[in-house]
Amino acid sequence: MTDVRTTEAVRDWPMWIDGQEVASASGEWRTVENPARRETVIARVPAGNAADVDRAVAAARAAFPAWRAQHFSGRSKALLAIADELEARTEEFATLTALDTGNALRTQARPEATTMVSMFRYFAGVAGEVKGTTLPAGENQLQYTRLEPLGVVAAILPWNSPLMIAAFKIPAALAAGNTVIMKAADDAPLTILLLAQVCNRHLPAGVVNAMTGRGSVIGEALANHPGVDKVSFTGSTEVGQGVAAKAGARLAHMSMELGGKNPSIVFPDAVDEELIDGLLLASRFTRQGQSCTAGSRLFLHEDIYDDVLTRLSAKLGALKVGDPLDEATDMGAVINAKQHSAITGYLDEGRATPGMKAVLGGSAPLEGALTEGYYHLPTVFSGVKNEFRLAQEEIFGPVLVAIPWKDTAEVIRMANDTNYGLAAYVWSHNLDDALNTAHQVDAGWVQVNQGGGQVAGQSYGGYKQSGMGREVSLEGMLEGFTQTKQINVRLRGVPNG
């Protein structure tokens, strides 16, 4: 990397392999930049390679037999100890998240850190539910199943919410008796390395490993490695398809949580101040729109289209965009120059598309303090048709497109007219309209009359090209991190009575 302004104190953050902090086998390092200060280096991490993957897999495989053999209460105790330390260090994790990702401290980074604590505690609590069944097979047969861990799990993590996504995967895999290799995102690796440090204070060596390096190197090596039993990936659909192809070629277990272009359907009877606040939350603008669950296609009934658009635009326009570490900031910085440029391209296309109008925003900041970082302003386009590119592709930025509708069947058809199917939002005070719509929308996670609502224990995952598999829940843990073994035993000398 060239022409980079370096801060005075740039810390090296090693990887974690076999309970030890390690550099890459090559000795090479990569810089990590601050999204809020263009070209400002905040840390260096190892540029891992295939040899490092071999080391991590060997460590995880060596640790697996003893970890899987532990009584579930031992694994639960370790997860609770991790949760206690994570809770005690919440502000440290939150501040590092804001620095590393550009997510605002108050609205995103701190909630992400507290969610991580909740997830470790939840999976500690359900560790004893990894159990099989006994079948009524007659007096001379004992037939039962065991749910056994898969082995070594590679968790390939994204940059938008690295701690939260790690919390979806890591404690579930550990509670089920697996060992783990975390692959941190290129652009936001620091909180994952700090998480690995905490985990290794409470777990045997090799149970949790953490790697850094390019996805095209580390991610590909993990997907191809015969010693990796499962690949759990969260990221874009395009990259996920490549990872799935490699892991699938060797019939490895896999789960994929991918992109979304999520509908938010508003019925006329839903209009009140709670709706506006809920739509703001569903937009994920306080995460710069960098969320797979962002309700980025806003379907407004034509009777309330102008009213809701006016009120929502005023609410979104009042968001304070700025330094992620400032408590007053509502919306932080976009992750990097590439993503910033991609969002700008969509904005340019939106302004140039006949019929579309930017009723809020529509261009990147051109002057002032916000030009020091990768900032975008909240943008709302009206006059959008569902077939427009901005209504079909995942922008992953603070861009909302508003589409009018008048018939329920029509809006459900439009909502489902997409390759994605991760999340959806339905707003109505009529129970029939709300639930009938929720049942007919093709999405794995549907919220009714709320923009959030995600809690530990619920199933989370997508339909169609939004992925496969479920996370966050007991059901997701059993489906995603265990396999069933059937055991049939013939009993001899059974008395007749």
CB-based contacts of 22, cutoff 8 Å, min separation 6: 14, 15, 16, 46, 52, 55
Helix H or strand E segment including 87? helix 72-88
C-beta of residue 120 within 8 angstroms of C-beta of residue 477 = no
**How confident is the model over 293-315, as pLDDT tens digits?**
999 999 999 999 999 999 999 99
Work out the percent of the chain whose per-residue pLDDT is above 70: 98
Q: Where are the alpha helices (DSSP H) in 271-425?
A: 273-283, 305-317, 337-352, 389-392, 408-416
Provide the b/e sequence for 462-471 (b: ≥16 CB within 10 Å): bbbbbbbbbb
Read off the DSSP letter of residue 328: T
C-beta of residue 379 within 8 angstroms of C-beta of residue 348 = no
Read off the DSSP letter of residue 211: E
Give yes or no for residue 496 having a pLDDT over 80.
no
Give the per-residue pLDDT at 283: 97
Show which residues are catalytic: 257, 292
Please provide residue 484's backbone torsions phi and psi, each rounded to the nearest 5 degrees: -95, 130
**How confident is the model over 6-49, as pLDDT tens digits?**
444 789 999 999 999 999 999 999 999 999 999 999 999 999 99
**Residue 454 — very low, low, confident or very high, per pLDDT cuts 50/70/90?**
confident
Residue type, 464: K
Provide the b/e sequence for 96-127 (b: ≥16 CB within 10 Å): bbbbbbbbbbbbbbbbbbbbbbbbbbbbbbbb
Report the alpha-carbon distance of residue 442 to residue 262 in Å, rounded: 10
Q: Is the pTM of this model over 0.85?
A: yes
Give yes or no for residue 2 having a pLDDT over 60.
no
**How confident is the model over 345-404, as pLDDT tens digits?**
999 999 999 999 999 999 999 999 999 999 999 999 999 999 999 999 999 999 999 999
Give the per-residue pLDDT at 6: 42
Give yes or no for residue 417 having a pLDDT over 60.
yes
**Residue 4 — very low, low, confident or very high, per pLDDT cuts 50/70/90?**
very low
Give yes or no for residue 5 having a pLDDT over 60.
no
Give yes or no for residue 64 having a pLDDT over 80.
yes
Q: What is the mean pLDDT of the chain?
A: 96
Quick one: tokens of 12? 């090296």
Report the alpha-carbon distance of residue 376 to residue 374 in Å, rounded: 7
**Residue 445 — very low, low, confident or very high, per pLDDT cuts 50/70/90?**
very high
Q: Where are the alpha helices (DSSP H) in 377-460?
A: 389-392, 408-416, 431-440
Calculate mean pLDDT across residues 41-68. 98
C-beta of residue 316 within 8 angstroms of C-beta of residue 283 = yes
Read off the DSSP letter of residue 8: E
Calculate mean pLDDT across residues 209-235. 97
Give the per-residue pLDDT at 495: 66
Q: Which residue has the tokens 């006994």?
A: 134
**How confident is the model over 319-335, as pLDDT tens digits?**
999 999 999 999 999 99
Dihedral sign computed on CA atoms, order 260, 265, 266, 269: negative
Give the per-residue pLDDT at 113: 98
Give the per-residue pLDDT at 494: 63
Give the per-residue pLDDT at 318: 98
CB-based contacts of 457, cutoff 8 Å, min separation 6: 122, 472, 473, 474
The gap from C-alpha 319 to its chain's centroid, in whole angstroms, comes to: 24
Helix H or strand E segment including 12? strand 5-12
